[in-house]
Amino acid sequence: MGSPEMTCPKRPDLRLDDQICFALYVATSAVTRAYCPLLGELGLTYPQYLVMLALWQDGAMTVSGLAARLRLGPSAITPLVDRLEAAGFVARARTSDRRVVLVALTDAGRRLEEEASKTQQDVVCRVGLSDGSLSALRQELMNLADRVTAPVAVQGVSSGRPRQDR
């Protein structure tokens, strides 16, 4: 059974403007579009920027570690790392276990962090939230992602649909 504050309507309202997925889509698109021209000046796409953020914050890591950090599949990370390596921002090296590839920043990749910081600040200013409000929104969005990706049994929420075994 869900917590008292959680309500799951039996029949969702299918109005576009009432959909959380639409509100998140519009907000995500707007923020990503704000980043794109600024990142383009740095030679980065938005997904490449996310990889660089992880490396700036956490240091060198494996491709699978990057995938986990960014909540993506390893197959989504490899082409990003390919392009970042071609641009000279990262380098890959095999570890003693030849199956494991470590991704690390190059000097050029480390130098890029200062410029990227200015880009991030520009976008934060456009968002127009106080530091506290921005932090609270970011945390609530991460909590939302965790709840949505958690197994239903852990949440204690039923979809309301009959199970269809095949």
Once rounded to an integer, what is the mean pLDDT over residues 138-147? 95
Once rounded to an integer, what is the mean pLDDT over residues 25-46? 96
pLDDT at 159: 52
In a domain, 120, yes or no: yes
Q: How many folded domains does the chain comprise?
A: 1
Domain that holds residue 90: 16-126
Give 98's pLDDT tier (boundaries 50, 70, 90): confident
| Mean pLDDT across the chain | 88
Nearest CA-CA partner of 117 in 72, 67, 57, 71: 57
Q: Which residues pair with 101 in a beta bridge?
A: 94
Tokens representing residue 74 in the block:
């390893």
In a domain, 137, yes or no: no
- State the CB neighbour count (10 A cutoff) for residue 22: 12
Residue 150, SS3? coil
Q: Which residue has the higher pLDDT, 41 or 158?
A: 41
Nearest CA-CA partner of 74 in 100, 49, 46, 36: 100
What does residue 7 show for φ and ψ, rounded to 5 degrees?
-120, 140
In a domain, 77, yes or no: yes
In a domain, 43, yes or no: yes
In a domain, 24, yes or no: yes
Give 4's pLDDT tier (boundaries 50, 70, 90): very low
Give 34's pLDDT tier (boundaries 50, 70, 90): very high
**164 has pLDDT over 60:** no
In a domain, 142, yes or no: no
pLDDT at 152: 74
pLDDT at 163: 47
Q: Is the Cβ–Cβ distance between 160 and 9 less than 8 Å?
A: no
In a domain, 103, yes or no: yes
Return the CATH number at 69: 1.10.10.10
CA distance 32 to 47: 10
In a domain, 86, yes or no: yes
CA distance 47 to 28: 13
pLDDT at 13: 72
Alpha carbon 100 to its chain centroid, in Å, reads: 23
Once rounded to an integer, what is the mean pLDDT over residues 47-62? 97
